[in-house]
Amino acid sequence: MDLNQPAGENYANPQICFFHVLFKASALAFYILSALFFDSFVIIFVVTVLLAALDFWVVKNVSGRILVGLRWWNEINDLGESVWKFECLDQESLSRMNKKDSWLFWWTLYLTAVVWIVLGIFSLIRFQADYLLVVGVCLTLSIANIVGFTKCRKDAKKQIQQFASQTIASRFSSTIQSAFSVV
């Protein structure tokens, strides 16, 4: 992940980028500004968590697949064990991914979690356990996507390395075979 925003390149998927940021910003903005407009904790809790859940779903199922070519999910196998599943585009498609889209995806993914942590610290300082619950749910959804996509990215890199080493080994083997078949 590059720390500096890529220059000279436009977003390839501006609508997806917009919605990727929209739900994150709306959940955070509603949580921060809701105290000005609502006295009901229940409304604040329900709307904030609903917006964070929409963000979770959009990131996991739409923007992650389109902006960075990754998708993850978790299944329970027949033995009752949790199994992570990962999908990524092939190497050629991954190399064509837009750098600016990728930059926006990763930075907003991590930055949102950091903001929720800061809001959680403020809730702790102000002794607002109920609002800490809201932050905890939203932070959990953010961290779930961070963990899922980070594992998916590592799995994709491992698959690329395996493919590269298999290709090199195959080429080497065919070169050796053709060298000995000439003799």
Interatomic CA distance for residues 76 and 131, integer angstroms: 32
Residue-wise pLDDT for 99-112, tens only, equals 887 888 889 999 99
What one-character DSSP code corresponds to residue 4? S
The confidence score (pLDDT) of residue 165 equals 53
Q: Would 83 be classed as within a structural domain?
A: yes
Q: Would 36 be classed as within a structural domain?
A: yes
The confidence score (pLDDT) of residue 74 equals 82
The confidence score (pLDDT) of residue 138 equals 94
Q: Would 4 be classed as within a structural domain?
A: no
- Residues of the chain scoring pLDDT < 50: 1-2, 160, 163-164, 167
By residue range, what is the domain housing residue 30? 14-176
Please list the alpha-helical segments (H only) found in the chain: 14-37, 41-58, 64-67, 91-95, 99-125, 129-182
93 in Cβ contact with 70 (< 8 Å): no
The confidence score (pLDDT) of residue 136 equals 93
Q: Would 122 be classed as within a structural domain?
A: yes
Taking the model in full, what pTM does it have? 0.72
DSSP bridge partners of 87 = 71
The confidence score (pLDDT) of residue 164 equals 47
The confidence score (pLDDT) of residue 71 equals 81
Report the number of distinct structural domains present in the chain.
1
- Among 100, 102, 112, smallest CA distance to 153 is for 102
Q: Would 137 be classed as within a structural domain?
A: yes
Q: Would 5 be classed as within a structural domain?
A: no
Q: Would 166 be classed as within a structural domain?
A: yes
Q: Would 9 be classed as within a structural domain?
A: no
Residue-wise pLDDT for 38-62, tens only, equals 788 899 999 999 999 999 998 888 8
